[in-house]
Amino acid sequence: MLDGPRLAPLSGSRPDALIILIHGYGSNGEDLISLAAMMQPSLPQAAFVAPNAPLQIPHMAAAHQWWPIETFSMAERAAGAAAAAPTLDAFIDAELEKAALASDRLLLVGFSQGAMMALHVGLRRPHPVAGIIGMSGMLVAPEQLETDIRSRPPILLIHGTVDDVVPFRSMELASTALTAAGVVVENHVSPGIGHSVGPDGLSAATAFARRALY
């Protein structure tokens, strides 16, 4: 079972919402829990958890991956996300049960490869989550979405205009495919930001989280 760093509700009470942060390739849960700490004051009743991806990158102790990246092909991404999905799904189910919360009290936040996982898994769960935030990511296998989609939570996509890892146009491509599938999508453009989350993106994510959960 996956695990990673956690933040209990700032209020000190039982959580009334759960935010799962899904890190990118070569990273780990500690990287994204720092984002959670910045979002937490605006979401004091929520619990946060940032699981480490199940696969370690060889010879790099703190570097995890949801699937290995070798060819950068669309087929590799589709196969990788599909292979990793059951593990993340099981983690989500276990965390919701542990917190005694329903799916509509869950927000998924993903960065890069983690954004691909958040979109892939969140749209295929039978009970809709409160929302999905995809940062610097892309929609994997958009051609399968019409067949596979099982729920349509609201989505916020955040992307920097000078991203040199996942192209900026990935946001528009994802937004178009999601809208065609009947999903309500918001796009936030971060001018001059590369493959990272700027202060404006973090503010947009926090505001979306508040709207989705409260």
Hey, what amino acid is at 51? P
Q: Would 1 be classed as within a structural domain?
A: no
- Domain containing 69: what range? 6-213
Q: What is the pTM of this model?
A: 0.97
Between vectors from CA 154 to CA 150 and to CA 158, what angle results, nearest 5°?
120
The closest of 131, 121, 115 to 196, measured between CA atoms, is 115
Structure-token pair, residue 158: 């955040």
Distance CA 117, CA 23 (A): 9
Q: Report whether pLDDT(1) > 90.
A: no
Q: Would 147 be classed as within a structural domain?
A: yes
Task: Give residue 59's pLDDT.
Answer: 86
Per residue in 101-113, pLDDT tens?
999 999 999 999 9
Domain total for the chain? 1
Per residue in 150-201, pLDDT tens?
999 999 999 999 999 999 999 999 999 999 999 999 999 999 999 999 999 9
Distance CA 25, CA 102 (A): 29
For residue 35, what pLDDT band results from cuts at 50, 70 and 90? Answer: very high
Residues of the chain with pLDDT > 90, as a percent, come to 95
3-state SS class at 56: strand
